[in-house]
A and B are shown apart, each in its own frame.
Chain A
C-alpha cells in the first residue's frame, strides 16, 4: 500500500519500488543474487556431483553404479597415487619454503630506494602475470635433454662433463618443478611481503640499531614478528594454489617419466579424462580437499590467536 502523505511539493509518495530499494534485506538479496547464483550453479552443485561421482563407478558413456568407498580404497592402494600424493606434498613443501625465503629476501631488497625501482618492481611480477603454461614451456625448452641452455652453460663453464637429466629423471624432475614453481610464485610473495614491510615504521629499526642490533638480528627480532600475520596469509594462499596445481606439471613433464612426477591433480586428470574413469578421477581429486581445508582452518585459528595475543 502506498503511503500518501500531505502533498505539499516537499514530501512525495513512497512507492513500492523505493521501499524495496531502500530495505536493506531486499537490496542485499538482489545484489547478492547474481554472484551467488553463479557460485551455486558452477561450484556448489558440481561439488556435490563430484562427491556423488566419487562413490560410483561412473565412466565416460556409462552411468555406473554405487560402489561406496571402493574408488577411495583403490586410490590408497594405487602405487602411482601414493607417489603422486608424496610428490604433491614434496612439491608444495619445498616450493613454499623457497618462495617464502626468496620472496622475503627480494622484498627486503626492494624495500630500499634506488633508481629504476618502479620498473624493476613491475618487471619482477612478470613471472606471476604471464600464463603459467607459456612460461612452463619456456622452462621445458630450457631443460630439454638435447638442447638445454643450462647444460650448455654449465658444460662450457667446466662444471659438468655429462648432461644433467633435468626432466628425464624422476627426482631431478620434481626438483625442477619446484624450481619453476618457485620462479613463478616468488614475485607474489615478494610484492605482498614488501607491502607488509612498508607498514613497519623505520623508527623501530633505528631504535634497534641504536641498541646495538645488527641487520640479521634486526630482521629476526623486529621485522619477522611484525610480518607474521601477512606472511601467514600469503603462505596459505600459496599452499592452496600449489597443492592443487595442475598446469605446471602437465606442461613440464606430463606426469612422467613413467608416472613418477604426477601430482594429485594431474593424475586425477589422467584417470578421469585420459582413461575416462570419471568416478575414480573424482575420488582422486577429493583427496585434495581435506588437506586444503585443514590448512585454512589452521591458518584461521593461528590468526585468531595472534589477534587476541
Chain B
C-alpha cells in the first residue's frame, strides 16, 4: 500500500466515502422516518419555520398498523414471497440443468443455444407483456400466482444459466470422469458430484434470482387484477393511493416493510450475491 499523508486520507477517502454512504442510505432513512411519523408532523410544508423533517420525537405505529390491518398488505407479502421462492426454484433447476448441459456436454448446436438464451435476455418485458397477457389468459392462469411463477423464470433462467455455466467450467472434469468410472451414470455424476461441489454458485444464482423476483413489476401489474393476488410492488403502487391522495405515511410504511424481507434474506447471503453479480459479468 502506498503511503500517504493523513490529511490526504481525510480529503480523498473519508469525506467522499461519507458522502457516498449518506447519498446511498438517506432515502431508506427517509422512508423509515416517514413511516413512523405522525400525520400531524408529516404534512409540515417545506417552508414552515419550525419544521424538523430529519427526525421525529413522537414516533408512532399508526401507519404500520393501518397498513397491516386495513389493506391487503400481509397478503401481498405472502404472495410475493411465495412467488419469488417458487420462481427461484424453477429457474434454479432449469438453470442448473441447462448450465450443465451447455458447459459439460458436447453436442451440435450447443453454441447456438447458448447464444439464443443470451438473446432472450435482450427482449424487454415491456415488449412482451402485451401478447403475454393474452397467452396467460388463454392458459387460464390470469390473476393466479402461476402466471408469475411461470413468467418470472423467463427473466431468471438466462441469468442462472450463465452464472452456473461459468461456475461449472471451473470444476475439473476429472471429478466427473472419476465418478463415472466409479459407477455413476453421467446424470448421477452430475447430481451427486457436480451439484454439491457447485453449491456456492447455486446459492449465488439463487439469491440473485430471489431479489430479481421481488423487483419485478410490470408482469405483476398486468397479469394480477384483484387486490388479494397482487405482489408488494404492485399493491403499494395501486392500492395505497385512494382517489388522488397519497397517504404518504402508510405508503412509506408499505415501502419500508416491503423492503425488509428482501433486505433480510440478502443480508444472510451477501457474499454469494456479490459473487453472483460479479460472476455474471465476467462469464
Mark A residues whose CB is within 8 Å of B. Answer: 18, 21-22, 24-25, 27-28, 31-32, 34-36, 38-39, 41-47, 49-50, 53, 102, 105-106, 109, 112-114, 118, 120-127, 129-135, 137-139, 141-142, 144, 146-149, 151-152, 155, 163, 183, 186-188, 191-192, 195-196, 202, 205-206, 209, 230, 233-234, 237, 240, 244, 246-247, 250-251, 264-265, 268-269, 272-273, 278, 281-282, 285-286, 288-289, 292-293, 296
Contact = CB atoms under 8 A, between A and B. Distances in A.
Interface in B13-29: 13, 16-17, 20-21, 23-25, 27-28
27 contacts: A22-B186, A24-B105, A24-B186, A28-B110, A31-B101, A34-B97, A39-B154, A42-B153, A47-B127, A109-B16, A112-B13, A122-B267, A127-B27, A130-B262, A131-B233, A134-B233, A134-B256, A134-B258, A135-B31, A137-B237, A148-B46, A188-B277, A192-B281, A244-B126, A247-B217, A272-B130, A293-B122
A233 B234 CA distance: 31
Contact of B186 (A21, A146, A282): A21
Contacts of A144: 248
Given A124-B21, A135-B31, A269-B126, 9 more contacts: A24-B107, A39-B120, A53-B130, A134-B256, A137-B251, A151-B47, A188-B277, A244-B125, A272-B130
Contact of A129 (B1, B122, B132, B263): B263
B50 to A, nearest CB: 11
B127 A288 contact: yes
Contacts of B127: 47, 50, 244, 268, 282, 285-286, 288-289
A282 B24 CA distance: 36
B131 A163 contact: no
Nearest to B109: A28
Given A36-B98, A130-B259, A141 B20 contact: no
A154 B197 CA distance: 55
B224 interface: no
Q: Chain B interface mostly helix, strand, loop or mixed? A: helix
Q: Chain A interface mostly helix, strand, loop or mixed? A: helix
Interface string B29-70: 011001000000011111100010110000000000000000
Nearest to A232: B281
A28 B113 CA distance: 11
Contact of B122 (A133, A152, A292): A292
B144 interface: no
A285 to B, nearest CB: 4
Nearest to A268: B126
A289 B51 contact: no
A286 B237 CA distance: 26
Contact of A43 (B30, B94, B120): B120
B101 A28 contact: yes
B27 A138 contact: yes
Nearest to B52: A152
A131 B98 contact: no
Contacts of B13: 109, 112, 114
Contacts of A112: 1, 13
B130 A282 contact: yes
A250 B1 CA distance: 46
A269 B218 CA distance: 9
Q: Which residue among A32, A112, A127 has the maximum number of chain B CB atoms within 10 Å of its CB? A: A32
A281 B128 CA distance: 11
Nearest to B240: A137
B126 A35 contact: no
Contact of B117 (A39, A109, A234, A237): A39
Contacts of A192: 277-278, 281
B273 interface: yes
Contacts of A114: 13
A131 B259 contact: yes
B46 A149 contact: yes
Interface string B257-283: 011001100110010011001100110
B123 A152 contact: no
Contacts of A186: 24
Contacts of B42: 147
Interface in B104-146: 105-108, 110, 113, 117, 120-132, 134-135
A132 B53 contact: no
A35 to B, nearest CB: 4
A275 B25 CA distance: 38
Q: Which residue among B34, B117, B262, B278 has the maximum number of chain A CB atoms within 10 Å of its CB? A: B278
Contacts of B78: none
